[in-house]
Structure 1
Amino acid sequence: MTSAQPRLQMRETVSETLAAMENQQPVAIVVGAGPSGLATAACLKHLSIPYIILEREDCFASLWKKKYSYDRLHLHLAKQFCELPHISFPSTYPTYVPKTDFLHYLDEYVSHCQISPLYKRSVESAIYDGGSEKWDVKAMNLSSGEIEEYSGRFLVVATGETADAFVPDVERLNTFTGEVNVVSREMVLPAIASTKANVVVFENGKSHPFDTIVFATGFKRSTNKWLKGDDYLLNDNGIAKASFPNNWKGKKGLYCAGPARRGLYGAAMDAQNIANNIKMQLLM
C-alpha cells in the first residue's frame, strides 16, 4: 500500500461520516454534557469526527450551573491541571479558579468549539447491535415526551459519578410543605423518621419545624439503568473497572470519559484518548 492510499481512505471516511451526520446518523454518540462530555465533543470535532451529544438537563455542566455547587467553590487543583483540551484558561485567571470564572471558561469553550448538545434528552436505553455493529440509543425528549432513536458506531458515556440524586425513603415525605434539596454527602443530624406538614421527626424522637430539607446524601450513577450489556467497563458505583491509564476504553466501540476519580485532568486525558482511538478505528 502506498502512502497516498491511507490519506485517500481517510478523506473518504470523513466524507462518509459527514454525510451520515446530515442524515442524523452520527459516528459517535456522547451521553452527558458535563466537562467530560464537552471535552470529548471538542476532541471529536478537532479530528473532524461527526457526533451528537445528549444531555438530560436544559444546559451543559448542570452540576456547576445549577444548585449542586456553592457560589464560593474554587477548583481544588491549580488551573494548569484543570484545563480542557485545546483551550487554556486565560492568563488573568487566578491559580485556583473560582466557580464564576470556570463557568465563563466553559461558556467560551462551548462557543469556540461549536458544541451544540441536544438538551432535555434522557437516555432510556443503549444497546449494541451485533448485526450492524452500532449502538442503538433511545432517548426521551423531555419537552415533547417522545422517544427519539439514534444510532452510532461509537458510544461515549460521560455522565459522571453524580447523575441521580439519592433521596432516602422517609415516611410521608410527600406531605412536607417546604422545599427538598439534595447536595453532596456531608455529616448530618440523626436520620429522619418521618415528616408531617413542616415538622420533621428524627429517629431519636425529637422533632422540629423546618422550611427546607436538604438531603446531604449525595448522588449515584444512572448508567446501569440504560446501558445494556456492560459488565466490563463500569462498576456498580459508576467508576471505571479498569485502572488508569486504560480506564477509558471498553469493547465494541464503548468508551467512558471521566469516571476514574482523576478530576478534570483525568477527564481531559480520557477525551483525547477516546477521540484518537475512534479516529484510528475509522482508518482501519
Structure 2
Amino acid sequence: MSSMADQFGFFSRRCVWVNGPIIVGAGPSGLAVAACLKEHGVPSVILERSDCIASLWQKRTYDRLKLHLPKQFCQLPRFPFPEHYPEYPTKQQFIDYLESYAKHLEISPRFNQSVQLARYDETCGLWRVRTTGTGTAAGCRSQEVEYIGRWLVVATGENAESVVPELDGLREFGGDVMHVCDYKSGEAYRGKRVLVVGCGNSGMEVCLDLCDYDAFPAMVVRDSVHVLPREVLGKSTFELAVLLMKWLPLWLVDKILLVLAWLALGNIERCGLRRPSTGPLALKNTEGRTPVLDTGALGKIRSGDIKVVPGIKRFSPGKVALVDGQVLDIDSVVLATGYRSNVPQWLQGCEFFSKDGFPKTTFPNGWKGQSGLYAVGFTRRGLSGASSDAVRTAKDIGRMWKEELKPAKRPVACHRRCISQI
C-alpha cells in the first residue's frame, strides 16, 4: 500500500532530473564540493532550505563571533581569504568571503528548498530527493519537487539543528529563555542576571559578551572541559598541534598541549573547571568534543565577573536551584547547549549514517557511502575537514563522470515523461 502511495506521489509532484550530483546544504561544505565538482567539469544542484548561503553563520550566530582558528585553516578550496583579512576573521568577514566564493565560482543554490525525504531507488538505480518550498511567497510552502539524480552529497553539516535539553521547571521560570542560536549581543541584558547553560566555546564567549554589556552571567558547568590558550607565544595553538602531529603520536601532542595550557592559563580547577582525563585531541577524535580556545573568559571567571556554577536541579519562577543546594535569582536563560546533525530526519533506507547523524566510518574514510552517497562536513575537524571531504568527493565523482556517464545520458528506468532537466 505504501509503495502505491509513493508511486502516486511521484506522478503528482514535479520531478526534475539532475545532470550531476544533488547537494543538500548551501553552507561552506556544500559550496566547497560544488566548486570542486565544477573544476572537474561536473555540474551540480545545491538544495538549501533557507533563503541564503551559510544560514547558520548569517542568521544563527552572535555578533562578536570570530573564526576560532587562523584563516589559513578555514579557507575553502581554490579560493584563499583576502590578504588584508586578520588572522581570525570576524563573522561578517567570513560571510563576505563565502558570498565572494559563490559569486566568483558561479555557484547558485536553489533556495527555500527544504528536503523532506531522500532515498535510493533500487528500481531506478537513482537517488530521489523530495523537497517542499519554505519561502513566504503565496503557495511556495505547499510546492513539492522531486529531484532525481545519480549521486547524493549530504552537506548539511554537524550543526543543522539546535539542541534544547529538557530542564525541570523551565516552563515555570517566567523569564526570557533563548537558545544561543538566537542570541546576538548582550545589549538587551544590561544589568540583568543571566544563566548561561553550557561551557563550550559559545557558552564562554556569550558570558564574555554579557560582561562587556554590564550583565551578570553565571555559567553552568556540568561536565569536565578542556580549556586551551588560543595562542602560545604568538603562535596559534591549533597550528602548533597540526605541526606536532606530523612528527609525534597523538597522545604525546596532547600532553604537550596540556603542559602549554598549564603554563599559559594556570590551574583551571581553581576556577571551578575540571579537565577530562582524555587529552583534548583524543577527546575531539573520539567524542567530537571541541576544546575551548580561551579569548578572555577565563580572566573574567578569575575576577568573579563570570560565576561558575554546577548542574541544574530545577527552575522555579525567577529562580534556579542547583545540584549543590544553591538557589540563584536570575532574569534570563541562554542555552549554549550546542547543535546536532539533522540527517536522520530526512535520509531514509541508509546504513551509512548512525542515529546521531554522523557517518559510522570515522575520519578520514567517512566521506563515501554506497550507491553514489557522499558526506561532506562531518569530520568533526571544522572547515579544514569539510574542504578535505569536498576535494575527495569531487575527485571521485569526476572520475565516474568521465568513465561511466556521458552528459547526454538520461535515466532509463524512471518515468521520463514527468522529468524535466537541470
TM-score range, shorter chain: 0.7 to 0.9
8 A contact 2:16–2:146 mirrored in 1: no
Partner of 2:128: 136
Matching of residue 227 in structure 1 with residue 347 in structure 2: yes
1:245-260 → structure 2 map (5 Å cutoff): 245-260=364-379
Deviation sequence 1:201-250 (CA, Å, 0-9, x none)? 4455846452x431121112210111112223x33333332233322111
1:147-162 → structure 2 map (5 Å cutoff): 147-162=144-159
8 A contact 1:161–1:237 mirrored in 2: no
8 A contact 1:55–1:121 mirrored in 2: yes
The alignment's C-alpha RMSD in Å is 2.5
8 A contact 2:23–2:44 mirrored in 1: yes
Higher helix share: 2
Partner of 1:3: none
8 A contact 2:53–2:99 mirrored in 1: no
Query: How many residues are matched?
Result: 257
8 A contact 1:127–1:227 mirrored in 2: yes
Which ranges of structure 1 fall in alignment gaps of 5 or more residues? Answer: 1-22
Amino acid at match of 2:171: L
1:165-244 → structure 2 map (5 Å cutoff): 165-170=162-167, 171=169, 173=171, 176=174, 178-183=176-181, 185-186=198-199, 187-188=219-220, 190-191=311-312, 193-194=314-315, 199-202=318-321, 206=327, 208=329, 210=331, 212-232=332-352, 234-244=353-363
Distance of aligned partners of 1:176 and 1:111 in 2 relative to their CA distance in 1, 3 Å threshold: farther
1:273 positional shift = 1.1
Partner of 2:260: none
Partner of 1:37: 30
Alpha-carbon distance in structure 2 between the residues aligned to 1:227 and 1:78: 34
8 A contact 2:367–2:389 mirrored in 1: yes
1:259 positional shift = 0.4
Amino acid at match of 1:193: R
When structure 1 is superposed on structure 2, of 181-190 and 125-134 the one drifting more is: 181-190
Describe the SS at the equivalent of 2:17.
coil
Partner of 2:105: 113
Alpha-carbon distance in structure 1 between the residues aligned to 2:319 and 2:41: 55
Alpha-carbon distance in structure 2 between the residues aligned to 1:66 and 1:195: 31
8 A contact 2:158–2:341 mirrored in 1: yes
Which ranges of structure 2 fall in alignment gaps of 5 or more residues? Answer: 1-14, 182-196, 200-218, 221-308, 405-422
Describe the SS at the equivalent of 2:358.
coil
Distance of aligned partners of 1:28 and 1:95 in 2 relative to their CA distance in 1, 3 Å threshold: same
Partner of 1:145: 141
The alignment-based identity, stated in percent, is 42
8 A contact 1:192–1:200 mirrored in 2: no
Alpha-carbon distance in structure 2 between the residues aligned to 1:178 and 1:243: 39
Alpha-carbon distance in structure 2 between the residues aligned to 1:120 and 1:176: 34
1:30 positional shift = 0.8
1:176 positional shift = 4.3
Alpha-carbon distance in structure 1 between the residues aligned to 2:73 and 2:170: 46
Amino acid at match of 1:105: Y
Deviation sequence 1:72-96 (CA, Å, 0-9, x none)? 3332333222221111111222233
8 A contact 1:32–1:54 mirrored in 2: yes
Distance of aligned partners of 1:138 and 1:173 in 2 relative to their CA distance in 1, 3 Å threshold: farther
8 A contact 1:28–1:50 mirrored in 2: yes
1:192 positional shift = 6.5
When structure 1 is superposed on structure 2, of 89-98 and 118-127 the one drifting more is: 89-98
Which of 75, 82, 85 aligns to 1:83? It is: 75
Amino acid at match of 2:106: Q
Matching of residue 276 in structure 1 with residue 395 in structure 2: yes
8 A contact 1:167–1:182 mirrored in 2: no
Deviation sequence 1:89-144 (CA, Å, 0-9, x none)? 11222233332322211110011112222223221111100111111111221222
The TM-score with structure 1 as length reference comes to 0.80
Alpha-carbon distance in structure 2 between the residues aligned to 1:73 and 1:92: 19
8 A contact 2:164–2:179 mirrored in 1: no
Describe the SS at the equivalent of 2:387.
helix
1:29-108 → structure 2 map (5 Å cutoff): 29-68=22-61, 70-108=62-100
**Bigger CA radius of gyration:** 2
Alpha-carbon distance in structure 2 between the residues aligned to 1:103 and 1:79: 13
Deviation sequence 1:50-89 (CA, Å, 0-9, x none)? 2211122222112211232x33333233322222111111
Amino acid at match of 1:220: R
The TM-score with structure 2 as length reference comes to 0.56
8 A contact 1:239–1:261 mirrored in 2: no
